[in-house]
Every structure is written in structure tokens, then in C-alpha cells.
Structure 1
Amino acid sequence: MSHHQNILQEVIESSSVENSLVRSYGRSFNGFAAKLTESERDKLIGMEGVVSVFPNTVYKLLTTRSYEFMGLGDKSKHIPEVETNTIVGVIDGGIWPESKSFSDQGIGPIPKKWKGTCAGGKNFTCNKKVIGARHYVQESARDNEAHGTHTASTAAGNKVKGVSVNGVATGTARGGVPLGRLAIYKVCEPAGCNAAGMMAAFDDAIADGVDVITISIGGGVTKVDIDPVAIGSFHAMQKGIVTTAAAGNDGPKLGSVANLAPWIVSVAAGSTDRKFVTNVVDGNGKMIPGRSINDFDLKAKKYPLAYGKTASNKCTEELARGCASGCLNTVEGKIVVCDVPDNVTEPQVAGAVGVIIHVTDVDTPGLGPIPVSDLDDTNYAAFRSYVLSAPNPQGTILKSETVKDENAPIVPTFSARGPNTLFSDILKPDITAPGVNILAAYSPVAQTALPGQSIDYYFMTGTSMATPHVAGVAAYVKTFHPDWSASAVKSAIMTTAWEMNASKNAEAEFAYGSGYVNPSVAVDPGLVYEIAEEDYLNMLCALDYSPKGISTVAGGTFTCSEKSKIQMKDLNCPSMAAKVSASSSSDITFSRTVTNVGKKGSTYKAKVSGDPKLSIMVEPETLSFKSPGEKKSFTVTVSGKSLLWFGQTGHTM
């Protein structure tokens, strides 16, 4: 610190060094923060030994950093008079209607197209925001578990200023269409979500007149003719309603992705550029980086560390190091170190002042009932080495800081992966959206990691949180294009996605699909890939689905013919995939037809990138359109000794 004060003494012009110096750093790097005038800054830059001087940029812990990160912020173009007539149906666990996110302030009369009802049951009232509610389980559409409330506010919650969790992530909460309406369909209870209720919810939502349906529910992969989400969403698609559904949280196992029907928008979870850092300091003053959302302030006081034998005198060493249930009997007033990733409650109950845990997926840190820091493999090994070698190990957990995550966006390990086990030549998931540490409306009676506190907004993580983001984007796109088909909206979202870095994301397209959703560009994709409902059914014909099964999906009799069957790889999807053997040397050709939704006289040129071992040919290379609505076709042929390639389409005009 004295060295830093000496440097400042040479540049300070009017105020004292004590008033100027904000913070001195000396553990992991050598530097300081200070209040300087522009001329003082310029002097400092010119001093020998000064590497860099940069402004103190404030990274706010914003509630809707997810929408900001996607590029859909307050300055984005909106069409209020159309947005207020847009209805999002939420098939989930109900809603907490009193949340400020569901206030109807600033929202006009209920749209005339709404044909639903407010049948929320016991102790439930609708308004001009939550215009409809139905429940298929329990006695009310009221949400006591928080999942449905969280997803509904993420999709179409009104703007609420000053939202935080005990001061963490303060900002303005909002959904994708803040002026949009919500229709709630409660199908889930603590025991689960039954298929009968889900089918009824789809049925009602379609009849009620919703524009978009979001459903963060999934189960085992099953054929589409016996899958309530696949069947319900097909009927929705027939009416022009977009359905977004969670890809599932069973990653990183390959082939774990759920909601595989090609007419569904299946959503993977991704990170944003907001990163919570909760550092740990050992007894020697060494700082070890960790992750969590920790609003507790231990004021840098050092506490004894309890690990293994020092944490328990009644369990084996192995059980004690894992902080097993009932083992921690000598940890009061100490910070407990655990070899396991998910045991916070045990140390808290035993009287610990904090807990340091070993995690393998540090993309998903959360709040805890006491100070918590999650250390990854490398950092945990370093900290554990100190604990085992020090005669009297001590340490502390610092309050969380927020930094910009330069690696974002990435897909966390929990997000389910392809390939598509039901339709092998159709890429799933379709798209990636924010799903890590999403702060949104919460049920105050629901359980949290902060026992005894009533929480109105809280963090949740999962593909369940990513899905309503895409529903909000789909609703946003439909405000610009109310007459677009469900396949056109899906295509616009997929073809305009941000390209993600395959080197940072294990399994690449199997993890993130076409990329990270990009709302502001999705409203003007130029070209769309449209799919008629009979095309989906003709694909099922080619897969030898029974006439009864196809009729179940179609909602009426459908007759297959050899002439009309469509191979999976030739379904007019915005992505291209084909399952081949590693030794295959045959050419693979994809046929696609695009519709111009851009300006008349538009011309599009193909741009190809990929493995240099493969030959990828697009014919024709250029498509010119005289007018909007015009359709043109092209083919993509892939050839090479090893056909390990996955295609995704985008457009450059």
C-alpha cells in the first residue's frame, strides 16, 4: 500500500492521497483503485512501471441481464399496440398473481380475440395482465412451488424496477413482451405433471386464442403419437401457435435431449455475460477464486476450517469429508469444507458459519442459507492441499462480486444434448437461450435457500428458465409479423441466432443447436423455411408410423401415399443433419425451399465454412427474389471420406 501511495503522491494535484486511494491490491496482482481527475490519470499513464490505467466500469447485477445480453433491451423497437394484443399461454405449475410482474399497470383493455376465462379457482383473481387461468390439479391455479411464476414472468412479465434478492442483482425485471398478456394453465403439482392435464391445457389454450405456448415440462423420450406435448403442440401449430419446450436437464450425456418433435422449438440453456465470483481466502492470505451468489459479509474475518476429522468425531473420515448427513457434530463457529457439490443444509444445521464445496459444474452457482463458495476441480484441490498441510487451517468467504464473463455464452453441463434419438436426421435442440441464474418472479410461500425469508424474486437455473425466454422472443417476433406461421417464426429465430464457439462448448451443435437466440435480428430474417402440416405427417409416413398414430397427431384421418412420403433429412427445417456411419463415403444431399420475407429485389449468396476434409456445395449459389412471398429452392451436397458435419443455415444479403 505504501508503494501505491508513493505513486499517487506524484500525480495527485489537489486532494490528499488518503482521499484519493480507494483500494489497494497486493495478493494476486499489483495495483490500486483511485479517484483521479483526467489530468491526474494522464500523468499516471506516463509513469514508468505503470502497465495500464482504465476506468472503473460498473457491471450491474441486472435482473433482466438475460434480455439485455440477447440484445432485447429498453431501446429495442417495440410495437405497443400489437404487443398488448399478444397472448402467451404458460402450461406449468400455476402463478402467484399478486407478484408485481403481473401488474396490469399501463395495459389497456383485454384483447377482443381472447376467448378464454378466469377459472383460477380458490383465492385467485385475474386482471388485464393475467387475463385467463385454469387449473387441472389441486383447487386453484395459484402457484406454491414458484416454477410456473418464474417462467411466466420471464416470458411476459411487466416491467418492475428495483428487483433484487437481498440486494443481489438489483435491476428492472421484465419479460420478452412486457405489455403482452398471460394465460395460465396449471398442470403440475409436487407429485408431477400428468399427461391428461397437459393435453387438456393445450386444448384449452388453443381454443382460448393464445399466440405462443411455453411449456417447461419433459419426460422420457417417446414416440410423438403418444407424447402429450408433441400432440398438443402439433394442434397448436395447425392454428399458427408457436410452442417452446425445454430440452431437458439430463446433460452432458449424448442423446439426452427431450421434446424432439420437429414442430416444437426445443430450447437448451446457455449462460450470459454476468458472472458471480465468490473468492475464498486461506490463512496465508492467498485468494482462491470460487463461484456462488453470496450476499453475506463475513468482513474478511478468518474462521477455523472444519474438514474430515475436524468436522466429525462420530463418522468415518470418508463420510466426514463428504459432509454426510448426521456427521457434522464439531463444526459450530467454523467454515466447513465438503468434497461434495450439493450439501449446504447439513453444515448450516450443525452451526457452521459458512461452507466451501467442491463442484464440477461451476456454471450454476446459487444462493445459500449461509455463505457458500463453489470451487472447481483445480481450485478445490489447491484449497484442500492447504487445509491438509496447515497445522491450524483458517479461512474466510468473501462477498460476491460480479464480473463480465468473457467466455459467454456457453452451454452448462446440465443442459441436455443431442443427437435426436427419435428423428435422427433432425437437429435437436433447436436454439439456446439464457438459463443460468435467472432472476424472476417467485412465490413468497415457496421454499428457497434462504429459510425463514419471504422472497418475491429469486434465482432459478435450468432449461425451464431458457424456454420462456424463447417464448418471449417468439411473441416479440409475432408482434411484427402476426400472420406468420409457427414454422416461419421458428425459422426466423433459428437462422438469425448468434454463432456459438464450438471450442468452448462440448458437443457443439448437439448442445446448442443453431446457436444463441438473437431477438432484434429475428424480426427481419430475410428468408424463412416454412413447413406445412402435411409435410410433418408425410415424414411420419416415411417412418412407418401407423395410420392410427398419425391420425392421433393430426387430429383427424390422414392417408399416407408412397408418392408423398418425405425423408427426414428433406423436411424443410432451418437446420440440416444426417446420420451416417463414420466410414461412409457417399454424398449427402439436402433439399430446401425458402420464402422471401424481405424486400423485393433481394439477392442472397451462399457462404460455406466447415471441415476442409469435406466438400460442401450449394446449388444455386445465388438466389434472387423479385417480391416478398416468392419461394425458391436450393440443394446442399456434402461429400468426403468422413462425413462428420452438421449444418445450420443463416442468411447474408
Structure 2
Amino acid sequence: MKKYFLKIIICLVFLFVPFKNMYVNAHEQQKQVALISIKDGMITQALKYIGERFPNVTVRQQYTETYYGFSVSGSLEELSQLAKMPLVNDMHFVTTYRAHLEDSIPFIGAEEAQLYKDQRGRKITGEGIKVGVIDTGVDYRHPDLKSNYGGGYDTIDLDKDPMETKLEEKSTFHGTHVAGVIAANGKRKGVAPKAKIYAYRALGPGGVGTSETVMAAIERAVKDQVDIINLSLGNDVNGPDWPTSIALDKAVEKGVLAITAAGNSGPGLWTVGSPATASKALTVGASYPPVLFPSIHVKNKETIINPMIGSAKWSKGINGRFVFKKYGEKGDLKRVKNKIVLLERGKLTFTDKVKNAQDAGAKAVIVFNNIDGNFIGQIKGKYTIPAATISRKEGLMIKKLIEKIKIDAKTGHEKKVDILADFSSRGPVTGTWQMKPDLLAPGVQIKSTIPGGYLALQGTSMASPHVAGAAALIKQLHPDWSMDDLKSVLVNTATPLYKNNKKMYHAYEQGAGRLDIEKALETETTLYPMSLSLGVTRKADLKVKKDFVVRISNKSNMPKQVTAINNQPAKGIQWVLPKAFTVPAHTSKKISLSATVDTKVLKDGFYDGAITFSTNDDENLRMPFLLLQGEPNFPSVMGFHFGRVKGKNRYKYELYLPSKVEEYKIAVFESETFRLLGVIDEQKNSKRGIIKKELVLKEFPKNGIYKFVIFYKRKQYESATESYVNVAKIYVED
């Protein structure tokens, strides 16, 4: 790896064709927006100081509940000077957030809740619980939601009308779908059908918002004294110190249970992004409820296909010759009548691919990914042929077969249940090495409310509201339980899932397992913490002892006998657990346990398992643990964006460094030929955090899609990350 990297750098230094007169322009800078954290009790003085010393800086929003400070706009030079004020703790430029885009509710045990009653004799339906939905807004006129709507706020338009965006081209429905999973009460029933929904519109047209609007929504929800907030949104920055992650932790400290979607950037490690990196929030990944999926049978192999949103229905028994036709351009689609067409993602929109294939007489379209992993496409308009997607690995395998011999394909259906969704983001969190996600919930083919009707969607956005609804049920049943108790009973009663029904998924993939509301409702024992991080060990450490104190709370009227067992022993990790002990009724007991890590035995990598606490009344609470052996190999560059800004030949890029890097270089390649066009910037000894930089590139190529490769060096790791960017787009100020 190291030798390869050095060769690449040498090529870049000596062989690239540089853009002429590339340099950073320090003049005429665009307005920036940043979040300023102020020392406690000093906001008034800070605002006065800004008014006197920085008359061109505008204060936009003030935060006192979940983040002590304010957001401001000004030039990069002004904000850099402002950050040096003695009253300032730190400054973060705002970042962009996007919404993560059959019957799961009985499957997780939500219907069993109505067998229980609260302290007032009411059925457990979420009644009396306020759930905040921080999203694209909510269609509060929807017949399944109007009786549950309690209010809210719009942090985009700054008014009290958090309705979904209605613009024809950039309309939204994501928040309404999320709200329906939580508390629909009409034709469809949510997990907690009598909970009150408070909508906070923080994502505007097209489902896009910024950290400024998201944080304002969190602030507002805390002031409105909601019990639970759900955030089915996120970015790709894996950092625990991002402002939105900090704000969520503060919200939890103030008594609001925060639940957030893990993100849809799986299946790679380290893909969970803020605010799902918040240490005190519950982070939710996605799994499959019982779903009958269309599949395609090719030469004795059954492959699950993912129907595109808006596609014609995939029926069983579609037969035809399978042919590969590149990207689906009109010139590619010759001799495809009555055939099933395999296309590669890219060049055209999914709608254009399907339209071209239908016009050419094809029977069906299957598009495989141009990067690793699965994805879901969407087509606009009505077409009679069905369209679906598959992973790159599956697509290339089928392509290789059909290019060798003529092969017929046939569609069918295959059932999937309790499988980790490929797209679900994985942990752990950089810096803290905390296990994320905390648990899984159904997030595939989830049918819920949208403006004007209903739609089945998939994503961790759909998984998170299942847990938010479950939390509302538990909160109604146990209104006096602490935040830690509520989180524990949701997480530590989860059902662990197994890959191919054999090997358990890792803790950094599934947390404690899939949500089981029935178990959570009947459990009266809780744990703190919910999981254990053994941190990072290295060979030079030899033997390392990790000590922990766990609090076990008995919430019942009877004493409980508890036994702790390590039922997933790992070679090289030796646990010392307490003998069986008793916890009296309505009390808590602290117990000590320790793990000794023999680093000489362990190879570099992840090691995980779980300690199970079993009680005499058949409660089993699993506390997962995670260890990283060796230097963590996480991506050293995240959140890369590039685009034009106002002014001739002016461009801007942004990236996030989760740790210090010795150097990085940004190279640009043609997207199809991969011909190197030049290096647009290079930096040495860059500290952790967000980097924004404006460039003047006098001979940048014409508008189009280009491949940007960022080469970096961090400690012994030398690698690269890549992004495809449409340079025709204007850089959007966050």
C-alpha cells in the first residue's frame, strides 16, 4: 500500500499537467456562515464585542439550550479573526444535511403494547407523549396525521408553519413519511398511534438544510419540552465533536431522548455520520422486516433486485434474454426487443435509461451500481416496463456471464427477514471509538404516509422512527424512568441478528441487535452503560487491563438475582465478571468487571462480543463490547464538496479531517478515461476539523462530471479517497 502511494505521488509531482496560475485567492471572499461557541454566561458581552469590532459580521441565530453561542455570517478573514476572541471556545463552519431517502410495525411487537396499561389505566399507544420530528416538515393535513399534530416550527422560513415544501420540482415528503411511522392514526397505524407529533422543518426544498437550521430545530424542540426527537437526516462526517452531535448530547442532558438515523452510506466501516455520532443519542441502523422481494434467476443463481421508486410492478415470471447495453443511451439499445436489459449506472438519469429502453422495446431494465454496494433509484413519469437496481458486484458478475454466452433470465420472488441492510451505515465513531449504531430497526420497504397518500421507502430514515415510536410507548408505560433507563430497555433487549443464519453480525454493524418492543415492555431491569468500548490497543502495550463499573437497576417490586456471562468469548480478551448477585426491589447496584487484553495474541482489527446479564425471571440483557487492535484505519478525508462560486475562474472546496494528516493533495481526472488533468491543491500538517478553501483556477476544464481523488498520508497509512463531482454546479453556501 505504501509503495503504491509513493508511486502515485511521484507521478503527480512529475507527470501531471498543471493548471496554469493556480493559487488561493485571499481577496473578495464570499460570505461564510459559522457556528460560534461562547464561554458560559458571556453571550451578551460577545454580541457587544462583535457589534463594535466586526460591523460587517451578521448574527443570525442564538442558541442557549443545546449549544451555547450563535451563528454568524461574514467573510472568511473576519470570521477567522472573530474566532480568536477570548470569549470564543471554538468555531465551526456550517455543513449541509440531507434527508436519508410490508408491515414492519407488528413484526417488532408494537401491537403487543396495547396489552399493557399505564398508571392511569390507558392502553399503551404513546398517548400523552410529545415526539419532535426534525425533518423536511410534515403534511399535518394528512388524514392519518391531522389528529396527532401538536405544533412545531419552520427554521427555514422562520415561521410556525412547518408544512412540507410544495414547490413542483423540489417538493418534499420525507418528514411526513417519518411522522407516519411514528404516529399515524388512520388508514395506517404508526408504532405509537396516539403520540403527539411536533414538526420542525429544518430541511427545505429538495430535502436540504444546514447545520444552522438543524441546530435551531433542536433548540426549538427542547424549548417546546418535547419528550423525544427524531432526526432522520445526516451528513458523511464521522466526528463526535460536530456541533449537531454536541447539540443532541445537550438535548439528552436536558431530558429529551434523541434518536437519529445512522445513515445510508454502508456497507463500509466508519460510514456513520453526524449527528448519528452523538454519544448520548440512540443511533439506529436498518434491517429487513419480512419482505417478499423480486429476484432474477440467472444460470442457477438467484439475485435479489431492488425495484426503483416509481417503477412498474415487478411480477413473477418475466422471462427473456439477458443483454448488457452499456449506459442505456439510444445508440446502445439495438436489438433489445422483448429482452431484459442490464445497464451500468452513470451518464443518464434513471428516467432516461428506462425511457430509452422502453422506446427500444425492452421487457425490463436492471441497473448495476458504478461504486461498491447497493442503491435505490427513482424514475419520474409513467412507464410500462419495470426497472430495478443491483450492486456493482452482482452486476459485473452477470455482465461477465452474458458477454460470454447467451443467457435467459427469469424473475421470481424471495423472502428476506432480519437481515442487515447493505446500505445501513456502520461504525465505529472516530476519536471516541464508540460503538454505533446502537441498535437496528426495520428500514426496508416501509409503507407510510406522504402528502396525498402513501408510499413504501427504505433507508435508516425509516428505521429511526420505529425506535422513536417505541420510545414513546416505553415513556408512557414508565413516565418516571430516567433517560438511561429508557435507552437501556430499548437497546439491551434487542434481538441479535445473524448473517446467513450462521455468524452474528458485528457490534459495529448492528449494535445490540434489532428492536424488540415486546421484550422492552416486559423488562424491568436496566443497565448503564448500554455498551462498553475497550478503546484502542497496540502490540507495544503487551497486556492491557480495562476496568468498568456497571449499574444494574431493578425497577420491579421484587428482588432479582442476576448472573453475568460472557457467551461470546474471544481469544486474547479475558473477562473477569462478578459472581451471581441480588438487586433488591426498586434499587440499583454497581458492580465491577474487567477485561485483560493480550495484544500479542491479537492480530490488528476489530474484536467484539457481548456480556449477557440474566435474571431469575428470564430477562436477558445483552451489553455489547468493542475493541480496536492496532492503529485504526479510518478514512482521513470526509465530506468533500467542490463547486463554482461567484467571480471569474473562482471555485471552492470543503473537506473534513477526522484526525491530523501529514499531507493531502487533490487531483482531478477525466471521469471516463481517468486521464490526470492536474492537482488543484496540496497541504501539509493539517489539523483535525473542517477545511474550506477558495481557489482561482484559470484553466479549469469545461463544465462536466470529473473524478476528484484526494491522496493523504496519516501516520503509517497512505491512501486516497475519491468523489465524482459535477463541476457545472454552483457551490452552495451552507
Normalising by structure 2, we get a TM-score of: 0.59
Contact 2:424 2:460 in 1 (8 A): yes
Deviation at 1:77, TM superposition (A): 2.7
Counterpart CA distance in 2 for 1:180 and 1:642 is 52
1:438 aligns with 2:446: yes
Counterpart CA distance in 2 for 1:615 and 1:422 is 22
Query: Structure 1's 642 and 275: CA in aligned 2 closer, same or farther, altered over 3 A?
Result: farther
1:337 aligns with 2:341: yes
Contact 1:420 1:427 in 2 (8 A): yes
Within the candidate set 106, 129, 153, 1:68 is matched to 106
1:186 aligns with 2:196: no
Please name the residue that 1:85 is paired with.
Answer: 128
Deviation at 1:238, TM superposition (A): 2.7
Query: Structure 1's 442 and 614: CA in aligned 2 closer, same or farther, altered over 3 A?
Result: same
Within the candidate set 577, 581, 585, 1:623 is matched to 581
1:358 aligns with 2:385: no
AA aligned to 2:327 is: G
Task: Describe the superposition over 1:90-136 as per-residue Cα deviations: whole angstroms up to 9, x where unpaired.
Answer: 000001223233142xxxxxxxxxxxxxxxxxxxxxxxx11113111
AA aligned to 2:482 is: S
Contact 2:270 2:428 in 1 (8 A): yes
Please name the residue that 1:518 is paired with.
Answer: 516
Within the candidate set 308, 327, 334, 1:322 is matched to 327
Contact 1:289 1:379 in 2 (8 A): no
Deviation at 1:237, TM superposition (A): 1.6
Correspondences of 1:138-153 after superposition (within 5 Å) = 138=157, 140-143=161-164, 144-153=171-180
Task: Describe the superposition over 1:556-584 as per-residue Cα deviations: whole angstroms up to 9, x where unpaired.
Answer: xxxxxxxxxxxxxxxx4433432222564
Please name the residue that 2:493 is paired with.
Answer: 496
Counterpart CA distance in 1 for 2:319 and 2:252 is 59
Contact 1:362 1:374 in 2 (8 A): no
Q: Quick check: which one's helix share is greater? A: 1
Query: Structure 1's 183 and 273: CA in aligned 2 closer, same or farther, altered over 3 A?
Result: same
Counterpart CA distance in 1 for 2:496 and 2:315 is 42
AA aligned to 1:478 is: K
SS in 2 for 1:409: coil
Deviation at 1:602, TM superposition (A): 0.7
Contact 1:202 1:236 in 2 (8 A): yes
Correspondences of 1:225-264 after superposition (within 5 Å) = 226-231=242-247, 233-258=248-273, 259-264=276-281
- CA RMSD of superposed structures (Å): 3.3
Please name the residue that 2:558 is paired with.
Answer: 600
Counterpart CA distance in 1 for 2:579 and 2:176 is 48
Task: Describe the superposition over 1:491-549 as per-residue Cα deviations: whole angstroms up to 9, x where unpaired.
Answer: 1111111122267679711111111111111134343235xxxxxxxxxxxxxxxxxxx
Task: Describe the superposition over 1:270-305 as per-residue Cα deviations: whole angstroms up to 9, x where unpaired.
Answer: 1223231233589xxx89654234753779576676
Contact 1:199 1:229 in 2 (8 A): no
SS in 2 for 1:465: helix
Judge which range, 182-191 or 628-637, deviates more: 628-637
Task: Describe the superposition over 1:409-459 as per-residue Cα deviations: whole angstroms up to 9, x where unpaired.
Answer: 2222322212220312x2222111111222211234xxxxxxxxxxx2112
The list of structure 1 runs, each at least 4 consecutive aligned residues, that deviate by more than 4 angstroms after superposition, is 222-226, 286-290, 297-306, 325-329, 331-334, 359-369, 373-380, 395-398, 502-507
Query: Structure 1's 366 and 441: CA in aligned 2 closer, same or farther, altered over 3 A?
Result: farther
AA aligned to 1:84 is: E
Query: Structure 1's 204 and 281: CA in aligned 2 closer, same or farther, altered over 3 A?
Result: same
Judge which range, 144-153 or 353-362, deviates more: 353-362
Please name the residue that 1:404 is paired with.
Answer: 415
Query: Structure 1's 613 and 148: CA in aligned 2 closer, same or farther, altered over 3 A?
Result: same
SS in 1 for 2:495: coil
Contact 2:373 2:422 in 1 (8 A): no
Please name the residue that 2:548 is paired with.
Answer: 590
Counterpart CA distance in 2 for 1:419 and 1:235 is 21
Correspondences of 1:188-337 after superposition (within 5 Å) = 188-189=203-204, 190=206, 192-221=208-237, 226-231=242-247, 233-258=248-273, 259-279=276-296, 289-293=303-307, 296=313, 307-308=324-325, 321-323=326-328, 325=329, 327-328=331-332, 330=334, 333-337=337-341
Counterpart CA distance in 2 for 1:135 and 1:363 is 34
Counterpart CA distance in 2 for 1:305 and 1:411 is 29
Correspondences of 1:437-476 after superposition (within 5 Å) = 437-444=445-452, 456-476=453-473
Counterpart CA distance in 2 for 1:581 and 1:301 is 55
AA aligned to 1:195 is: S
Contact 1:410 1:505 in 2 (8 A): no
AA aligned to 1:357 is: V
Contact 1:278 1:373 in 2 (8 A): no
AA aligned to 2:366 is: I
Normalising by structure 1, we get a TM-score of: 0.65
Deviation at 1:331, TM superposition (A): 6.5
Within the candidate set 152, 157, 161, 2:184 is matched to 157
SS in 2 for 1:102: coil
Q: Quick check: which one's strand share is greater? A: 2
Structure 1, unmatched stretches of 5+, are 1-63, 105-128, 161-172, 309-320, 445-455, 531-571
Correspondences of 1:4-83 after superposition (within 5 Å) = 65-73=103-111, 77-79=115-117, 80=122, 83=126
Contact 1:576 1:590 in 2 (8 A): no
Query: Structure 1's 97 and 636: CA in aligned 2 closer, same or farther, altered over 3 A?
Result: same
Please name the residue that 1:121 is paired with.
Answer: none
Contact 2:240 2:430 in 1 (8 A): no
Counterpart CA distance in 2 for 1:299 and 1:609 is 43
Please name the residue that 1:421 is paired with.
Answer: 430
Deviation at 1:148, TM superposition (A): 0.7
Query: Structure 1's 382 and 266: CA in aligned 2 closer, same or farther, altered over 3 A?
Result: closer
